[in-house]
């Protein structure tokens, strides 16, 4: 067995060689070779990648501003019974089709795209005394975010149901959302 400072059969002293310099050399050669290959490949392409970006990258996604003031209401609020209140379901349309509060209209909230201006205009021109919005009840709640967006666009007296549709279903004893009107 040969080790550091050992002597072989001919009387020669064995020297331990560290593998780090060899590994670094090999890694450097690999990086150099692949870099040169990339440069040559890019030069041969008709639509080669530019060395310097000519336009600024768009790194921010324009999300809707949800800055309006709203108030949270309990799921058993009497506003559901008032015919002068516009009820909005902010959940996805497939959830709305499975179950929704009577008289509710569906305006699905999208976290990345603002609510279309024609929908905002129709909501504002509804002549409702108040607007009540409920969503999916998650964190963040789509109903709360939609309510804040509507309020931020100038619609007054906007409320959202704390806990969203799950809280409403819980107090109305809806076990299967498809069973309710």
pLDDT at 148: 93
Question: What is the share, in percent, of the chain residues with pLDDT greater than 90?
Answer: 59
- 135/146 Cα distance (integer angstroms): 8
- 76/132 Cα distance (integer angstroms): 12
Q: Give the per-residue SS3 of 114-179.
A: CCCHHHHHHHHCCCCCEEEEECCCCCCCHHHHHHHHHHHCCCCCEEEECCHHHHHHHHCCCCCHHH
Task: Say if residue 38 is exposed, middle or buried (CB neighbours under 10 Å; 0-12, 13-18, 19+).
Answer: exposed
How many other C-beta atoms are found inside a 10 Å radius of the C-beta of residue 137?
21
pLDDT at 174: 62
pLDDT at 1: 46
List, in order, residues 6 or more apart from 160 with CB less than 8 Å away.
70, 71, 72, 73, 132, 133, 134, 135, 141, 143, 144, 146, 147, 148
List, in order, residues 6 or more apart from 26 with CB less than 8 Å away.
none
- 141/109 Cα distance (integer angstroms): 10
Lowest-pLDDT range, 36-40, 74-78, 144-148, 175-179?
175-179
56 against 85, higher pLDDT: 85
Tell me the CATH number for domain 71-179: 3.40.250.10
């Amino acid at each position: 067995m040969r080790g550091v400072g050992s002597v072989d059969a001919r009387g020669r002293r064995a020297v331990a060689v560290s593998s780090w310099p060899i590994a670094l050399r090999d890694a450097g050669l690999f990086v150099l070779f692949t870099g040169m290959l990339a440069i040559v490949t890019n030069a041969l392409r008709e639509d080669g990648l530019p060395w310097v970006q000519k336009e600024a990258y768009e790194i921010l996604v324009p999300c809707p501003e949800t800055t309006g003031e709203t108030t949270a209401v309990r799921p058993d609020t009497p506003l559901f019974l008032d015919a002068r209140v516009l009820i909005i379901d902010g959940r996805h349309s497939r959830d709305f089709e499975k179950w929704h509060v009577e008289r509710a209209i569906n305006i699905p909230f999208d976290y990345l795209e603002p609510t279309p201006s024609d929908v905002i205009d129709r909501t504002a021109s509804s002549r409702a005394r108040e607007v009540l919005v409920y969503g999916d009840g998650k964190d963040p709640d789509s109903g709360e975010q939609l309510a804040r967006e509507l309020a931020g666009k100038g619609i007054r007296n906007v409320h959202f149901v704390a806990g969203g549709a799950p809280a409403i279903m819980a107090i109305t004893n809806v076990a299967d959302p498809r069973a309710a009107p």
